[in-house]
């Protein structure tokens, strides 16, 4: 047990040291702290964007979902692919506009395109609301890892507090540069651990991949495909579309694309990132291997599958290495999420109320808000209840509501008006909030509808209502004003 914890603690110290090192010699003004002075080459941008793929979400959530739900987990393989295809055309114009207007956060983009500070505040609020479940799932992962690696000596709650403290300290010292360099360490570690486990466990326990899948299919026929109802093909398609559209709408992902030195970076990444996703395959293999080895985990417990099967298989020092990789997968995205949330609060909400504040003042405020955001996330984490995948899908349902207004703003003559954008986002987010708070699905709201319709991800329903509201209100706006576009036009 001591060995496992010692390895994890050493990893955290190395990560902190890297963060401090990244800071040295750089004057950390607001632009440096948040977008690295827009000087990142292909490799670092790639890591920041790919870091998105390898978070606690995939490490524990992905393997857990493969273990607990089987086939539906495969949606995680599909959505990234489609997001990367779209990124080829979506990201370069966003990057160009952000550079030309010296933007540092996601709401800045909406403020500038729609010429409305109020819209910026709305977008910030949506971003923060979506980031909270995302942060919660990283902390939940940290809790699982530290509690497991201590073999029960440290409680999950204590582990969550320790994890939150480490992430907070990390962000406050290093900013985005620390995240990028630790991302390199993290991706190396996770690659090694996941590929090893994903190959070793199926061969060790079943004698091979084909034998493993045949054994699972015999024990649970059809479990590895999509079920006829519930997480059916309608759920799969709607969830893939929702998450693919939302992929780049996360405030921290949107912010990390500003760090690029030039736009070609994104087009190159669109080729490589799909391949990078293949690591997910091994994550699933771990989850599948656990199905028959550690049966019986239910509800949110499915997130424990990877560690349960590892503990059954390996010595404590190996658990330490796995835990260390796991801690990094929570630390890097966790730090980016915290930073994004704090920057949103300081730059896009606080600043609107205190127009006189200069950049230094905002940067200081952002840094001070980091522990506050961390505390809120800890509070929600300790409430417990949801699986890691369910938490992320909730965040996605919120954040994807920004997509229609963003996409239209890239058009040369944006037909969407300021009020239209406002109405669309409000309607979409209100729908998601209502559905989440009342725990409804289309199946509970409309029990008589056909299964194929009932299984559609509610985030997509909210997105449709969003687009309707956006179109209707923009149309009314145009009719009233008699002009073509009151919204500020893109100067592209």
Partner 1 sequence: MRFLAVLPFLGILVGTPFVNRVEPLILGLPLILAWLLLWILLTSAIMAVIYLTDPANRREGTDA
Q: Which residues make up the interface to partner 1 (CB under 8 A)?
A: 41-43, 71, 74, 77-78, 81-82, 84-85, 88, 92, 208-211, 213-214, 217, 221-226, 233, 236-237, 240-241, 261-265, 267-268, 270-272, 274-275, 277-278, 281, 284
Supply the minimum distance, in Å, between the C-beta of residue 324 and partner 1. Answer: 28
| Cβ proximity to partner 1, 31 vs 263, nearer residue | 263
Give min distance, CB of 271 to partner 1, in A: 4
Task: Tell me the closest approach of the beta carbon of residue 320 to partner 1, in angstroms.
Answer: 31
Complex with partner 1: residue 265 or 338, whichever CB lies closer: 265
Smallest gap from Cβ 82 to partner 1, in A, equals: 6
HSE-CB at 163 with a 13 A cutoff on CA atoms is: 38
Could you tell me the smallest distance in angstroms from the CB atom of residue 326 to partner 1? 24
Nearer to partner 1, 268 or 444 (CB): 268
Token readout for 3 is 């060995």
Q: How far is the CB of 216 from partner 1 (least distance, A)?
A: 8
Beta-carbon contacts of residue 201 (< 8 Å; ≥ 6 apart): 285, 286, 289, 290, 293, 309, 313
> Judged by CB, which is closer to partner 1: 78, or 433?
78
**Residue 44 CB, nearest approach to partner 1 (Å):** 10
Minimum distance between the CB of residue 342 and partner 1, rounded to whole angstroms?
30
Six-digit token pair at 283?
């994550």
- Non-local (6+) Cβ contacts of 378 within 8 A are 139, 160, 161, 164
Nearer to partner 1, 55 or 277 (CB): 277
Closer residue to partner 1 (CB): 275 or 353: 275
Three-class SS string for the chain? CHHHHHHHHHHHHHHHHHHHHHHCCCCCCHHHHHHHHHCECHHHHHHHHHHCCCCHHHHHHHHHHHHHHCHHHHHHHHHHHHHHHHHHHHHHHHHHHHHHCCCCCHHHHHHHHHCCHHHHHHHHHHHHHHHHHHHHHHHHHHHHHHHHHCCCCCCHHHHHHHHHHHHHHHHHHHHHHHHHHHHHHHHHHHHHHHHHHHHHHHHHHHCCHHHHHHHHHHHCCCCCCCCCCCCCHHHHHHHHHHHHHHCCCCHHHHHHHCCECCCHHHHHHHHHHHHHCCHHHHHHHHHHHHHHHCCCCCHHHHHHHHHHHHHHHCCHHHHHHHHHHHHHHHHHHHHHHHHHHHHHHHHHHHHHHCCCCCHHHHHHHHHHHHHHHHHHHHHHHHHCCCCHHHHHHHHHHHHHHHHHHHHHHCCCCCCCCHHHHHHHHHHHHHHHHHHHHCCCCHHHHCCCCCHHHHCCCHHHHHHHHHHHHHHHHHHHHHHHHCCCCCCCCCCC
Smallest distance, Å, CB 368 to partner 1? 36
CB of 265 to partner 1, least distance (A): 6
Task: Rank residues 42 and 230 by Cβ distance to partner 1 and give the closer one.
Answer: 42
Residue closer to partner 1 (CB basis): 59 or 276: 276
Which of 153, 452 has the CB closer to partner 1? 452
Q: Kindly state the smallest distance separating residue 241's Cβ from partner 1, in Å.
A: 7
Nearer of residues 19 and 64 to partner 1, judged by Cβ: 64
For partner 1, the closer CB: 117 or 261: 261
Contact 157, 382 (CB under 8 A): yes
């Amino acid at each position: 047990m001591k060995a496992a914890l010692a390895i994890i603690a050493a990893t955290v110290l190395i990560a902190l040291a890297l963060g401090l090192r990244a800071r040295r010699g750089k004057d950390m003004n607001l632009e440096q702290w948040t977008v690295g002075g827009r000087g990142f080459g292909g490799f670092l941008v790639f890591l920041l964007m790919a870091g998105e793929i390898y978070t606690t979400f995939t490490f524990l959530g992905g393997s857990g979902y493969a273990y607990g739900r089987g086939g539906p987990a495969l949606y995680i393989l599909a959505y990234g692919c489609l997001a990367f295809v779209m990124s080829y055309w979506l990201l370069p114009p966003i990057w160009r506009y952000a550079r030309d207007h010296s933007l540092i956060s996601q709401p800045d983009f909406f403020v500038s395109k729609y010429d409305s500070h109020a819209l910026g505040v709305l977008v910030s609020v949506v971003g923060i609301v979506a980031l909270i479940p995302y942060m919660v799932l990283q902390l939940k992962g940290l809790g699982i890892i530290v509690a497991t690696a201590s073999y029960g000596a440290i409680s999950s709650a204590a582990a969550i507090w320790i994890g939150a403290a480490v992430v907070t300290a990390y962000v406050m010292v290093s900013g985005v540069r620390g995240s990028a360099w630790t991302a390199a360490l993290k991706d190396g570690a996770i690659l090694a651990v996941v590929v090893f486990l994903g190959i070793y466990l199926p061969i060790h326990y079943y004698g091979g991949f084909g034998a493993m899948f045949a054994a699972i299919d015999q024990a649970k026929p059809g479990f590895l495909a999509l079920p006829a109802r519930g997480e059916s093909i309608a759920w799969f398609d709607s969830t893939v579309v929702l998450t693919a559209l939302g992929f780049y709408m996360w405030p921290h992902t949107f912010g990390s694309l500003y760090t690029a030195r030039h736009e070609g970076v994104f087009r190159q990444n669109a080729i490589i990132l799909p391949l990078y996703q293949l690591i997910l395959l091994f994550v699933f293999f771990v989850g599948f291997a656990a199905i028959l080895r550690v049966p019986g985990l239910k509800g949110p417990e499915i997130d424990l599958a990877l560690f349960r099967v590892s503990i059954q298989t390996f010595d404590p020092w190996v658990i330490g290495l796995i835990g260390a990789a796991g801690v990094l997968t929570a630390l890097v995205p966790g730090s980016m999420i915290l930073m994004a949330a704090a920057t949103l609060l300081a730059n896009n909400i606080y600043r609107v109320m205190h127009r006189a504040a200069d950049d230094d003042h905002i940067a200081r405020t952002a840094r001070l808000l980091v522990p506050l955001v961390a505390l809120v996330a800890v509070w929600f984490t300790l409430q417990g209840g949801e699986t890691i995948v369910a938490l992320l899908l909730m965040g996605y349902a919120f954040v994807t509501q920004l997509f229609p207004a963003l996409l239209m703003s890239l058009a040369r003559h944006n037909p969407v008006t300021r009020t239209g954008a406002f109405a669309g986002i409000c309607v979409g987010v209100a729908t998601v909030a209502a559905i989440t708070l009342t725990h409804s699905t289309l199946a509970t709201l409309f029990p008589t509808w056909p299964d194929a319709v009932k299984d559609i991800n509610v985030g997509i329903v909210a997105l449709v209502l969003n687009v309707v509201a956006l179109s209707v209100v923009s149309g009314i706006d145009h009719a009233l004003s008699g002009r073509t576009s009151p919204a500020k036009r893109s100067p592209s």
